Protein backbone atom coordinates (compact mmCIF):
# COMPACT_ATOMS: atom_id res chain seq x y z
CA UNK A 1 0.00 0.00 0.00
CA UNK A 2 2.98 2.31 -0.43
CA UNK A 3 1.37 4.19 -3.32
CA UNK A 4 -1.73 4.86 -1.23
CA UNK A 5 0.35 6.64 1.39
CA UNK A 6 1.93 8.83 -1.29
CA UNK A 7 -1.38 9.75 -2.94
CA UNK A 8 -3.61 9.91 0.13
CA UNK A 9 -5.33 13.04 -1.16
CA UNK A 10 -6.11 11.86 -4.68
CA UNK A 11 -9.05 10.16 -6.42
CA UNK A 12 -6.55 7.54 -7.58
CA UNK A 13 -5.81 6.68 -3.95
CA UNK A 14 -9.53 6.34 -3.25
CA UNK A 15 -9.95 4.12 -6.30
CA UNK A 16 -7.10 1.93 -5.07
CA UNK A 17 -8.59 1.71 -1.59
CA UNK A 18 -12.02 0.71 -2.90
CA UNK A 19 -10.66 -1.80 -5.39
CA UNK A 20 -8.73 -3.60 -2.63
CA UNK A 21 -11.60 -3.61 -0.11
CA UNK A 22 -13.60 -6.73 0.53
CA UNK A 23 -16.56 -4.97 2.13
CA UNK A 24 -16.62 -1.21 1.56
CA UNK A 25 -19.57 0.93 2.63
CA UNK A 26 -20.45 4.59 2.14
CA UNK A 27 -21.91 7.19 4.48
CA UNK A 28 -23.21 10.41 2.94
CA UNK A 29 -24.38 13.70 4.43
CA UNK A 30 -25.75 17.07 3.40
CA UNK A 31 -22.57 18.10 1.57
CA UNK A 32 -23.36 15.37 -0.94
CA UNK A 33 -26.37 17.32 -2.21
CA UNK A 34 -25.10 20.90 -2.20
CA UNK A 35 -24.05 20.52 -5.85
CA UNK A 36 -27.72 19.84 -6.63
CA UNK A 37 -28.58 23.25 -5.16
CA UNK A 38 -29.69 22.02 -1.73
CA UNK A 39 -28.16 24.07 1.10
CA UNK A 40 -26.49 22.15 3.88
CA UNK A 41 -27.28 22.66 7.55
CA UNK A 42 -24.15 23.22 9.62
CA UNK A 43 -21.72 25.19 7.46
CA UNK A 44 -21.24 28.95 7.77
CA UNK A 45 -23.97 29.45 5.17
CA UNK A 46 -26.10 26.51 6.27
CA UNK A 47 -29.81 26.44 7.06
CA UNK A 48 -29.31 26.35 10.83
CA UNK A 49 -27.31 29.60 10.74
CA UNK A 50 -30.49 31.38 9.66
CA UNK A 51 -33.09 29.66 11.84
CA UNK A 52 -33.05 27.74 15.12
CA UNK A 53 -33.86 24.09 14.30
CA UNK A 54 -35.44 23.58 17.72
CA UNK A 55 -37.97 26.30 16.89
CA UNK A 56 -39.04 25.02 13.47
CA UNK A 57 -37.96 21.41 13.05
CA UNK A 58 -38.32 19.76 16.44
CA UNK A 59 -40.77 17.21 17.76
CA UNK A 60 -41.81 19.69 20.45
CA UNK A 61 -42.74 22.35 17.88
CA UNK A 62 -44.58 19.77 15.77
CA UNK A 63 -46.68 18.75 18.78
CA UNK A 64 -47.36 22.18 20.26
CA UNK A 65 -47.15 24.51 17.23
CA UNK A 66 -47.91 22.40 14.15
CA UNK A 67 -48.71 25.47 12.04
CA UNK A 68 -45.25 26.93 12.71
CA UNK A 69 -43.66 23.58 11.94
CA UNK A 70 -45.47 23.27 8.63
CA UNK A 71 -44.75 26.86 7.62
CA UNK A 72 -41.08 25.86 7.59
CA UNK A 73 -41.46 22.31 6.31
CA UNK A 74 -43.94 22.76 3.45
CA UNK A 75 -41.71 24.99 1.23
CA UNK A 76 -38.79 22.62 1.79
CA UNK A 77 -40.79 19.75 0.36
CA UNK A 78 -41.24 21.68 -2.89
CA UNK A 79 -37.59 22.69 -2.94
CA UNK A 80 -36.32 19.16 -2.37
CA UNK A 81 -38.79 17.63 -4.82
CA UNK A 82 -37.61 19.90 -7.62
CA UNK A 83 -33.90 19.01 -7.65
CA UNK A 84 -31.99 16.36 -9.57
CA UNK A 85 -29.08 14.12 -8.57
CA UNK A 86 -25.62 15.47 -9.28
CA UNK A 87 -22.52 13.70 -10.56
CA UNK A 88 -21.57 12.62 -7.04
CA UNK A 89 -24.83 10.69 -6.67
CA UNK A 90 -24.30 9.15 -10.11
CA UNK A 91 -20.75 8.09 -9.17
CA UNK A 92 -21.91 6.49 -5.91
CA UNK A 93 -24.58 4.57 -7.83
CA UNK A 94 -21.93 3.39 -10.28
CA UNK A 95 -19.66 2.22 -7.45
CA UNK A 96 -22.61 0.27 -6.09
CA UNK A 97 -23.36 -1.19 -9.51
CA UNK A 98 -19.77 -2.41 -9.80
CA UNK A 99 -20.00 -4.09 -6.41
CA UNK A 100 -17.38 -1.80 -4.84
CA UNK A 101 -19.83 -0.44 -2.26
CA UNK A 102 -21.77 -3.08 -0.36
CA UNK A 103 -23.98 -0.70 1.66
CA UNK A 104 -25.02 2.94 1.29
CA UNK A 105 -26.01 4.81 4.43
CA UNK A 106 -27.26 8.39 4.12
CA UNK A 107 -28.20 11.15 6.53
CA UNK A 108 -30.01 12.89 3.66
CA UNK A 109 -33.77 12.87 3.24
CA UNK A 110 -33.83 14.17 -0.34
CA UNK A 111 -34.08 10.75 -2.11
CA UNK A 112 -31.42 11.81 -4.63
CA UNK A 113 -29.45 8.60 -4.21
CA UNK A 114 -32.45 6.57 -5.31
CA UNK A 115 -33.14 8.95 -8.19
CA UNK A 116 -29.54 8.42 -9.35
CA UNK A 117 -30.00 4.66 -9.40
CA UNK A 118 -28.70 3.55 -6.01
CA UNK A 119 -30.51 0.64 -4.42
CA UNK A 120 -31.12 -0.50 -0.84
CA UNK A 121 -30.33 2.96 0.55
CA UNK A 122 -30.31 3.04 4.36
CA UNK A 123 -31.97 6.39 5.22
CA UNK A 124 -31.08 6.88 8.88
CA UNK A 125 -32.72 10.31 9.15
CA UNK A 126 -35.91 9.26 7.37
CA UNK A 127 -37.20 10.21 3.95
CA UNK A 128 -39.66 12.48 2.19
CA UNK A 129 -41.16 9.49 0.43
CA UNK A 130 -44.11 9.18 2.83
CA UNK A 131 -46.27 10.85 5.46
CA UNK A 132 -47.21 9.40 8.83
CA UNK A 133 -49.34 9.95 11.91
CA UNK A 134 -47.49 9.71 15.21
CA UNK A 135 -50.72 9.07 17.10
CA UNK A 136 -52.40 6.19 15.25
CA UNK A 137 -49.45 5.20 12.99
CA UNK A 138 -51.46 5.64 9.76
CA UNK A 139 -49.32 6.15 6.65
CA UNK A 140 -49.85 8.29 3.56
CA UNK A 141 -47.99 8.93 0.35
CA UNK A 142 -46.05 12.16 -0.03
CA UNK A 143 -48.59 13.32 -2.60
CA UNK A 144 -51.45 12.79 -0.18
CA UNK A 145 -49.54 14.58 2.57
CA UNK A 146 -48.89 17.64 0.40
CA UNK A 147 -52.50 17.73 -0.82
CA UNK A 148 -53.77 17.68 2.76
CA UNK A 149 -51.38 20.48 3.76
CA UNK A 150 -52.37 22.63 0.79
CA UNK A 151 -56.07 22.00 1.40
CA UNK A 152 -56.01 22.91 5.09
CA UNK A 153 -56.91 26.45 6.16
CA UNK A 154 -53.93 26.56 8.53
CA UNK A 155 -51.57 24.60 6.30
CA UNK A 156 -51.44 21.61 8.67
CA UNK A 157 -52.25 18.18 7.19
CA UNK A 158 -54.30 15.95 9.48
CA UNK A 159 -54.92 12.25 9.70
CA UNK A 160 -58.18 10.96 8.22
CA UNK A 161 -58.38 8.27 10.89
CA UNK A 162 -57.76 10.16 14.13
CA UNK A 163 -57.53 13.87 13.23
CA UNK A 164 -54.00 14.33 14.61
CA UNK A 165 -51.54 16.41 12.58
CA UNK A 166 -49.45 14.47 10.08
CA UNK A 167 -45.71 14.69 9.55
CA UNK A 168 -43.45 13.60 6.74
CA UNK A 169 -41.13 10.63 7.14
CA UNK A 170 -38.25 12.96 8.00
CA UNK A 171 -36.84 12.52 11.51
CA UNK A 172 -37.32 15.65 13.61
CA UNK A 173 -35.05 17.01 16.33
CA UNK A 174 -35.99 15.21 19.52
CA UNK A 175 -37.40 12.22 17.63
CA UNK A 176 -35.78 8.79 17.67
CA UNK A 177 -34.06 7.51 14.54
CA UNK A 178 -35.91 4.70 12.74
CA UNK A 179 -34.79 1.51 14.56
CA UNK A 180 -34.58 -0.74 11.50
CA UNK A 181 -32.43 1.73 9.58
CA UNK A 182 -29.99 2.52 12.41
CA UNK A 183 -29.64 -1.19 13.15
CA UNK A 184 -28.86 -1.84 9.47
CA UNK A 185 -26.28 0.97 9.52
CA UNK A 186 -24.52 -0.47 12.57
CA UNK A 187 -24.53 -3.96 11.08
CA UNK A 188 -23.00 -2.60 7.87
CA UNK A 189 -20.26 -0.83 9.84
CA UNK A 190 -19.47 -3.99 11.79
CA UNK A 191 -18.85 -5.88 8.54
CA UNK A 192 -16.95 -3.12 6.75
CA UNK A 193 -13.22 -3.01 6.10
CA UNK A 194 -13.51 0.42 4.42
CA UNK A 195 -15.92 3.29 4.99
CA UNK A 196 -16.18 6.14 2.50
CA UNK A 197 -17.63 9.29 4.06
CA UNK A 198 -18.91 11.94 1.64
CA UNK A 199 -20.31 15.32 2.64
CA UNK A 200 -20.85 14.64 6.34
CA UNK A 201 -19.32 16.70 9.13
CA UNK A 202 -19.57 13.58 11.35
CA UNK A 203 -20.88 15.66 14.22
CA UNK A 204 -24.35 14.13 14.66
CA UNK A 205 -24.60 10.98 16.76
CA UNK A 206 -25.18 8.11 16.48
CA UNK A 207 -24.27 8.13 12.77
CA UNK A 208 -21.01 9.91 13.59
CA UNK A 209 -19.95 6.77 15.47
CA UNK A 210 -19.90 4.58 12.35
CA UNK A 211 -16.38 5.57 11.18
CA UNK A 212 -15.07 4.86 14.67
CA UNK A 213 -16.62 1.39 14.55
CA UNK A 214 -14.91 0.63 11.25
CA UNK A 215 -11.57 2.09 12.40
CA UNK A 216 -11.60 0.28 15.73
CA UNK A 217 -12.40 -2.95 13.91
CA UNK A 218 -9.22 -2.61 11.86
CA UNK A 219 -10.89 -1.05 8.82
CA UNK A 220 -9.80 2.01 6.89
CA UNK A 221 -11.40 5.43 6.38
CA UNK A 222 -11.77 7.59 3.30
CA UNK A 223 -13.24 11.05 3.86
CA UNK A 224 -14.41 13.50 1.20
CA UNK A 225 -15.69 16.76 2.64
CA UNK A 226 -14.89 20.42 2.16
CA UNK A 227 -14.85 21.07 5.91
CA UNK A 228 -12.97 19.36 8.72
CA UNK A 229 -14.18 16.25 10.55
CA UNK A 230 -13.15 14.64 13.85
CA UNK A 231 -11.63 11.72 11.92
CA UNK A 232 -9.28 13.57 9.57
CA UNK A 233 -6.13 12.53 11.42
CA UNK A 234 -6.90 8.82 11.14
CA UNK A 235 -8.23 8.81 7.58
CA UNK A 236 -6.25 6.71 5.09
CA UNK A 237 -7.54 8.85 2.21
CA UNK A 238 -8.56 12.48 2.78
CA UNK A 239 -10.09 14.39 -0.12
CA UNK A 240 -11.49 17.92 -0.21
CA UNK A 241 -13.33 19.87 -2.87
CA UNK A 242 -16.45 19.14 -4.87
CA UNK A 243 -17.75 15.63 -4.35
CA UNK A 244 -18.98 15.35 -7.93
CA UNK A 245 -15.54 16.09 -9.35
CA UNK A 246 -13.62 13.88 -6.95
CA UNK A 247 -15.94 10.88 -7.22
CA UNK A 248 -16.19 11.13 -11.00
CA UNK A 249 -12.38 11.12 -11.15
CA UNK A 250 -12.38 8.12 -8.81
CA UNK A 251 -14.60 6.18 -11.21
CA UNK A 252 -12.34 7.24 -14.10
CA UNK A 253 -9.29 6.02 -12.14
CA UNK A 254 -10.98 2.66 -11.64
CA UNK A 255 -11.58 2.45 -15.40
CA UNK A 256 -7.88 3.06 -15.96
CA UNK A 257 -6.77 0.20 -13.71
What is the tens place of the pLDDT at every residue in 112-161? 999 999 999 999 999 888 999 999 999 999 999 999 999 999 999 999 99
How many Å apart are CA 149 and CA 166, to the nearest integer?
9
First to last CA, the chain: 15
Share of the chain above pLDDT 70, in %: 91
| 121 φ, ψ (degrees, to nearest 5) | -75, 130
Average pLDDT, the chain: 90
Average pLDDT over residues 185-200: 97
Per CATH, is 1-38+84-125+177-257 categorized as 3.40.50.300? no
Q: Could you tell me the CA-to-CA distances from 80 to 6, 39, 99, 109, 131 in Å, in that order? A: 40, 10, 29, 9, 15
Confidence category of residue 230, pLDDT binned at 50, 70, 90: very high
pLDDT tens across 164-178, in order? Answer: 999 999 999 889 999
In the chain, DSSP assigns E strands to: 24-28, 103-106, 121-123, 126-133, 139-141, 166-170, 194-198, 220-224, 237-239
With contact defined as beta carbons under 8 Å apart, do 39 and 115 qualify? no
Residue 84 to residue 96: CA distance in whole angstroms: 19
The reply to whether 1-38+84-125+177-257 and 46-82+127-170 are identical in fold is: no
What is the arithmetic mean of pLDDT over 96-104?
A: 97
125 is catalytic: yes
Q: Of these residues, 23, 73, 125, 215, which one is catalytic?
A: 125
Q: Would the pTM count as exceeding 0.75? A: yes
Q: What is the 3-state secondary structure (H, E, C) of 15-79?
A: HHHHHHCCCEEEEECHHHCHHHCCCCCCCCCCHHHCCCHHHHCEHHHHHHCHHHHHHHHHHHHHH
Rounded average pLDDT over 227-237:
94
CATH says 46-82+127-170 is which class?
alpha beta
Locate the domains of the chain by residue range.
1-38+84-125+177-257, 46-82+127-170
Give the model's pLDDT for residue 5: 45
Per-residue pLDDT tens for 5-31?
A: 435 789 999 999 999 999 999 999 989
Complete edge-to-edge strand list for the sheet that includes strand 220-224: 121-123, 103-106, 24-28, 194-198, 220-224, 237-239
Contacts of 4 (CB under 8 A, 6+ apart): 13, 16, 17, 236, 237
Amino acid sequence: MGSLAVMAGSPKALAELLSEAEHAIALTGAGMSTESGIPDFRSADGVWQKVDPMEVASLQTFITEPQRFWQFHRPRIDMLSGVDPNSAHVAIAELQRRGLLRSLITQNIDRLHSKAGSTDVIEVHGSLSRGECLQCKAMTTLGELVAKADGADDGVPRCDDCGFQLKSGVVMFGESLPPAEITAAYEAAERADVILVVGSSLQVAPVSELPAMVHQGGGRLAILTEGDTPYDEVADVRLRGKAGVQLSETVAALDAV
